[in-house]
Amino acid sequence: MKNLLGSSIKDLETVAINYGQAAFRGRQIYSWLYNYKNKNKNIDQIEVLPLDFRKKLKEDGYTVSQLRLRDSHRANDGTLKLLLSTEDNENIECVGIPTEKRLTACLSSQVGCPMDCKFCATGKDGLKRSLKVSEILDQILFIENQMNRRVTNIVFMGMGEPLLNINDVLLSIRSINEDFKISQRKITVSTVALPKLITKLYEQSFKILGKCQFTLAISLHASNQTIREIIIPSAKNYNIRNIIEDCKQFVLETGRRVSFEYLMLSGVNDKVEHADELSNLLKGFQCHVNLIQYNPIEEVEFKQTSTTGLEQFKSRLFNNGITVSFRKSRGLDKNAACGQLRQNAKNK
């Protein structure tokens, strides 16, 4: 199958010309393809194209969507969680997080995840495969279609480890930037961090995109190596201090500050001494700490840090000169943790 989603306007003009059509037919495909108001994503629905042209595209294996909507849940705060099925009958999740002025799409980059972070439901079944560019982009269209508005911001914080699918993630960012008209500065790539891959990410970004202006978010979740290995078993392969050094180099090469995600786990990583330790680890370069409220899942016994404890931790970081904010979890009343929709579907 040859999916047209992810194709540039020049790509589609070439497709049209190769079929003996005028170049403007490619532009018509382009306009239709990235219009979220088109509910039925199949070539038959591109009615501005000649019937014979549509028939030939279908016969030659062209398609415009390979995902199917399997389930959806809308939380009381408006957050929309979608379970989508792939052509090979795997399941992935994406989330639309609305505010008055923006709609953030939380995208998956893989089916499952190999990292097995202890606080996350996604990795419990391991990694099935990486997603193709078209499967990543199609998540945006499903969110826009279901919520009837344009996505304004993108976070690669769904299922999977983006750095294990670098090329497809970067190619999808090209399309998000050029075809969906979303600036790189409104895109975040979140990673647990793997040896040498932070460097590869910005090097490949310069090669594929010509620039690297998206935000890099490191799922750090600990102030020292010992705690990090407890929370994230794969961390044993990448010392926390080496991660910080690679992040400093990322800042030097790109001019973009790094965001550190820090999931607050009661009695594990949320003490004042952890805040001091984290401050010492991060001081001296352009970064930001994003404290996150824990979403409880059935498989583990972690507990949320109290509001008082969270405020003390945040204040300590701030007083130590670290830029810090708190991100409250959205959609808690509907399958709180990433991976829960997929697991619930398996259990039905």
Residues 128 and 241 in one domain: yes
Residue 316: give its domain's CATH number: 3.20.20.70
Q: Are strands 103-106 and 110-112 parallel, antiparallel or unpaired?
A: unpaired
Asked whether residue 190 carries a pLDDT value surpassing 50, the answer given is: yes
Query: Could you tell me which residues come within 8 angstroms of residue 138 by beta carbon, excluding any fewer than 6 positions away?
Result: 5, 41, 65, 66, 67, 84
Looking at 15, 30, 63, the residue that finishes a domain is 63
Residues 176 and 95 in one domain: yes
Looking at 63, 90, 113, the residue that finishes a domain is 63
pLDDT band at 37 (very low <50, low <70, confident <90, very high): confident
Asked whether residue 203 carries a pLDDT value surpassing 90, the answer given is: yes
Looking at 47, 63, 79, the residue that finishes a domain is 63
pLDDT band at 333 (very low <50, low <70, confident <90, very high): low
Catalytic residue among 93, 135, 144, 161: 93
Asked whether residue 249 carries a pLDDT value surpassing 60, the answer given is: yes
pLDDT of residue 336: 42
Percent of the chain at pLDDT > 70 equals: 93
Sequence letter at residue 305? T
| Cα 345 from chain centre | 21
Query: Which candidate, 334, 264, 339, places its Cα nearest to that of 303?
Result: 264
Q: What is the mean pLDDT of residues 9-32?
A: 97
Q: What is the mean pLDDT of residues 240-267?
A: 97
Domain hosting residue 311, numbered range = 68-347
pLDDT of residue 340: 56
pLDDT of residue 79: 94
Residues 326 and 293 in one domain: yes
Q: What is the mean pLDDT of residues 3-12?
A: 95
Percent of the chain at pLDDT > 90 equals: 82
Catalytic residue among 113, 120, 247, 338: 338
Q: What is the mean pLDDT of residues 176-205?
A: 97
Residues 15 and 87 in one domain: no
301 is catalytic: no
Residues 141 and 155 in one domain: yes
Residues 33 and 140 in one domain: no
pLDDT of residue 348: 54
DSSP 271: S
Return the exposure string of 192-219: e unless at least 16 CB atoms fall within 10 Å of the residue's CB, then b.
Answer: bbbeebbeebbebbeebbeebbbbbbbb
pLDDT in tens, 115-145: 988 888 777 778 999 999 999 999 999 999 9
Residues 42 and 120 in one domain: no
89 SS3 class:
coil
Report the first-to-last Cα separation within the chain, whole angstroms.
Answer: 30
- Its pTM stands at 0.93
120 is catalytic: no
Residues 219 and 245 in one domain: yes
Residues 86 and 179 in one domain: yes
CA distance 99 to 101: 6
Residues 120 and 29 in one domain: no
Sort 236 into a burial class: Cβ within 10 Å, 0-12 / 13-18 / 19+: exposed
Q: What is the mean pLDDT of residues 280-309?
A: 88
Query: Which candidate, 73, 113, 111, 110, places its Cα nearest to that of 90?
Result: 111
Residues 57 and 176 in one domain: no
Asked whether residue 172 carries a pLDDT value surpassing 70, the answer given is: yes
pLDDT of residue 298: 67
Q: What is the mean pLDDT of residues 220-242?
A: 96
Residues 20 and 111 in one domain: no
pLDDT in tens, 151-164: 999 999 999 999 99
- Of residues 66 and 286, more confidence is placed in 286
Residue 17: give its domain's CATH number: 1.10.150.530
Query: Which candidate, 38, 46, 94, places its Cα nearest to that of 69?
Result: 94
Average pLDDT value for the chain: 92
pLDDT of residue 133: 97
> Is the Cβ–Cβ distance between 212 and 206 less than 8 Å?
yes
Asked whether residue 227 carries a pLDDT value surpassing 90, the answer given is: yes
222 SS3 class:
coil
Q: What is the mean pLDDT of residues 93-113?
A: 96
Question: What total of structural domains would you count in the chain?
Answer: 2
